Chain A
């Protein structure tokens, strides 16, 4: 049997019995806060500022020339711990897109299952083409499981365009056009 210990309780003083000092103290806080700047956000009409490097929903991005950056190397699919990513690689048709023919490869389909994703950011870290980013989208909902799978179109819509510091494939194209004499 656990021992019970009876605590002595001090009887209330007269002032305490009136409750007035406590009410006054409470009201002081109320009035003081009323005059301060508002901190509450009227979500969802108002949205918080998302810091850089926030790990939101993974998205696919284009480079400033509008080129699809992902080459469907499938490294993100491999690294993703909960296997949220599913890619069907495809070949770029050189006839249809001569500008991009030298990239050779692009995803035919690219699905990220947001019911599986744990926002770990490993896909962004592993991507050799800097094509996948966890950006500032943080609220995501849907009525069905299918809706929660972001397809390629949706991913590009969410991702938009990000600055590029390499233009790797543009350089490659330039070198190919210039050739080198021998």
Chain B
């Protein structure tokens, strides 16, 4: 709300109605904001890229109140209303910024006529590819042709032939015949990805999108060009011909690749994930995400998923495993090795379990190289969550040397490990044989092989939960597909372990019940915060309490270590 008050609003007239819009936005955004279902169709304009103004689809009529040149007085009509000087020809809405008193017509005859004209020109050389085109169903050209096209072709000459099935890079294919030369992809690689590899060659109707000779569209953001391409010219090699988009269900989720916490959408059909695309959040990832983050769903179907609750390798029910875990933890001398990949709710439980059996919680860091954009140095989605839930109060360590020494000395009896392969962190299998190991994880690894108890856990795509990103923004993700058969949500099983440790009866928990407890426990969370009612754009927390910590993130798209303040979301729709 603070933001809204700073932005100056002006009044313009859209199709005869007064509308209040923020200053400095263009006509396309203004019309969208005015609501009432009005839109200015456009191809080349993208809110996060520079204005190119080359598709000419966004034509509107524009006029300003006339003024007398000599006196500066407003000229009035006979009835006293200000006389509007309409421009004789339509103008493009994307490159026209709103000005006080501006008049816009979005549905006049002239506007319709120009949209129809642009559509007809775009279609003269367009192939009849919709049946084999992956964009069908989400294609701007298809949508606008249905609305503004004439339904038949007056073009009797031969269509242009251009290269098809061109490989632009390891993940992107190009079909030049479908390209409408909007240059969005070119601008993206120049302005956002900062790797200038795409461009147009030849002239007129022969203009062709191509890669710079000897180069490839191979950077880690290449698939964003596929997202922003308004037509089916750029397609993803991974998603190509896999499934029609109209069959796919979209579920909002959060990328787990790094602490950026890019907002994503999971596209699935009947429990199978087909692709991941970015979801717009101006405070987190704008409209982009990494290619590597989009490939993470492949682990869902990998063969080494843990699919059974086991005790010493024998299949058991979750209740039996939980009871066995309680016994082990009650025996004392336990250590909880938590995970920066767990959701906030799970970390809350691990914290509670650790507290109830006086176990020492430990966390292991997952750091890598950042790219200054949407891949931060911290390759885990929820380090801040571990801080907020009090699981840790210092930054996690790189390995578990101290724990290994304690095991060696015999002062540890039980290790409760979550999603970390202990054998890679300084505890060899021989060492692990000296202690009891409870392992919670999604995939099999050397630790799960030697663990006495194995509790399979769900992947981010299969459960509800929250992560806290680099800017202390609480973000919610929802289950897109069901998990392996018989696997319960992690916090359900954790409740069965946690409650008996305090001589309580395990209660059937919902995620909102967990939130109720968390909100009551942690001051940093608002009292009335619940999972179900978390804002779509995330809930910003005050991270000043953790300012002293030396977080590894360096400056990236929405994070600046120099600035303690959380970057404010831009007003919606800008």
Q: Interface on A for B, CB 8 Å cutoff? A: 71-75, 77-78, 89-91, 94, 101-105, 128-129, 168, 172, 175-176, 178-180, 182
Across the interface, do A129 and B241 meet the contact criterion of CB distance under 8 Å? Answer: no
Across the interface, do B165 and A78 meet the contact criterion of CB distance under 8 Å? Answer: no
CA distance A180 to B202 in the complex (A): 14
Of all chain A residues, the one with the shortest Cβ separation from B165 is A104
The interface residues of chain A, by DSSP majority, are classed as mixed
Contact of A128 among B130, B158, B165, B244 (CB under 8 A): B130
The verdict on B247 contacting chain A, using a C-beta distance below 8 Å, is yes
Given contacts A73-B244, A74-B247, A168-B128, 19 further A-B contacts (CB under 8 A): A71-B131, A72-B241, A73-B130, A73-B131, A73-B132, A77-B247, A89-B241, A89-B244, A90-B241, A91-B240, A94-B165, A102-B164, A103-B132, A104-B241, A128-B130, A175-B158, A176-B164, A179-B161, A180-B158
Across the interface, do B244 and A182 meet the contact criterion of CB distance under 8 Å? Answer: no
Q: Interface on B for A, CB 8 Å cutoff? A: 127-128, 130-132, 136, 158-161, 164-165, 202, 206, 240-244, 246-247
Of all chain A residues, the one with the shortest Cβ separation from B246 is A78
A171 CB → nearest B CB, Å = 10
| The 5 A-B residue pairs with the shortest CB-CB distance in the complex, in nearest-first order | A73-B131, A105-B132, A74-B244, A128-B131, A182-B206
For residue B159, which residues in chain A have a CB less than 8 angstroms away from its CB? 175
Across the interface, do B246 and A91 meet the contact criterion of CB distance under 8 Å? Answer: no
A-B contact pairs, 15 of them (CB 8 A): A71-B132, A72-B241, A74-B244, A75-B131, A77-B244, A78-B246, A89-B242, A89-B243, A90-B241, A102-B164, A104-B132, A105-B241, A168-B128, A176-B161, A178-B161
For residue A176, which residues in chain B have a CB less than 8 angstroms away from its CB? 161, 164
Of all chain A residues, the one with the shortest Cβ separation from B243 is A89
With contact pairs A91-B241, A180-B161 given, residues A78 and B247 touching in the complex (Cβ less than 8 Å)? yes
CA distance A182 to B202 in the complex (A): 9
With contact pairs A78-B247, A91-B240 given, residues A180 and B131 touching in the complex (Cβ less than 8 Å)? no
A17 CB → nearest B CB, Å = 75
B35 CB → nearest A CB, Å = 31
A40 CB → nearest B CB, Å = 46
CA distance A101 to B128 in the complex (A): 16
For residue B161, which residues in chain A have a CB less than 8 angstroms away from its CB? 175-176, 178-180
CA distance A175 to B164 in the complex (A): 13
For residue B242, which residues in chain A have a CB less than 8 angstroms away from its CB? 89
B200 CB → nearest A CB, Å = 14
For residue A78, which residues in chain B have a CB less than 8 angstroms away from its CB? 244, 246-247
B509 CB → nearest A CB, Å = 36
Contact of A129 among B131, B158, B240 (CB under 8 A): B131
For residue B247, which residues in chain A have a CB less than 8 angstroms away from its CB? 74, 77-78
Across the interface, do A73 and B136 meet the contact criterion of CB distance under 8 Å? Answer: yes
Of all chain B residues, the one with the shortest Cβ separation from A72 is B241
For residue B240, which residues in chain A have a CB less than 8 angstroms away from its CB? 91
A57 CB → nearest B CB, Å = 23
For residue B130, which residues in chain A have a CB less than 8 angstroms away from its CB? 73, 128
Contact of B160 among A72, A73, A180 (CB under 8 A): A180
Most chain B CB within a 10 A radius of its CB, from A90, A94, A105, A129: A105
Of all chain A residues, the one with the shortest Cβ separation from B175 is A104
For residue B128, which residues in chain A have a CB less than 8 angstroms away from its CB? 168
A87 CB → nearest B CB, Å = 9
CA distance A169 to B344 in the complex (A): 55
For residue A168, which residues in chain B have a CB less than 8 angstroms away from its CB? 128
A30 CB → nearest B CB, Å = 60
A181 CB → nearest B CB, Å = 10
CA distance A107 to B160 in the complex (A): 28
For residue B131, which residues in chain A have a CB less than 8 angstroms away from its CB? 71, 73, 75, 105, 128-129
Most chain A CB within a 10 A radius of its CB, from B160, B165, B242, B244: B244
Of all chain A residues, the one with the shortest Cβ separation from B157 is A180
CA distance A176 to B129 in the complex (A): 14
B165 CB → nearest A CB, Å = 7
For residue B164, which residues in chain A have a CB less than 8 angstroms away from its CB? 102, 104, 176
CA distance A129 to B132 in the complex (A): 10
CA distance A102 to B163 in the complex (A): 11
For residue A71, which residues in chain B have a CB less than 8 angstroms away from its CB? 131-132
CA distance A77 to B247 in the complex (A): 10
Of all chain A residues, the one with the shortest Cβ separation from B202 is A182
CA distance A77 to B243 in the complex (A): 11
Of all chain A residues, the one with the shortest Cβ separation from B136 is A73
CA distance A72 to B244 in the complex (A): 10
CA distance A179 to B246 in the complex (A): 34
For residue A74, which residues in chain B have a CB less than 8 angstroms away from its CB? 243-244, 247
CA distance A90 to B165 in the complex (A): 15
CA distance A128 to B136 in the complex (A): 13
CA distance A91 to B235 in the complex (A): 13
For residue A103, which residues in chain B have a CB less than 8 angstroms away from its CB? 132
Of all chain B residues, the one with the shortest Cβ separation from A172 is B127
B81 CB → nearest A CB, Å = 51
B246 CB → nearest A CB, Å = 6
Most chain A CB within a 10 A radius of its CB, from B159, B161, B202, B247: B161
CA distance A143 to B161 in the complex (A): 52
Of all chain B residues, the one with the shortest Cβ separation from A127 is B131
CA distance A101 to B206 in the complex (A): 23
For residue B127, which residues in chain A have a CB less than 8 angstroms away from its CB? 172
Of all chain A residues, the one with the shortest Cβ separation from B240 is A91
B30 CB → nearest A CB, Å = 36
Of all chain B residues, the one with the shortest Cβ separation from A168 is B128
For residue A128, which residues in chain B have a CB less than 8 angstroms away from its CB? 130-131
A3 CB → nearest B CB, Å = 62
For residue A77, which residues in chain B have a CB less than 8 angstroms away from its CB? 244, 247
CA distance A172 to B162 in the complex (A): 12
For residue A75, which residues in chain B have a CB less than 8 angstroms away from its CB? 131
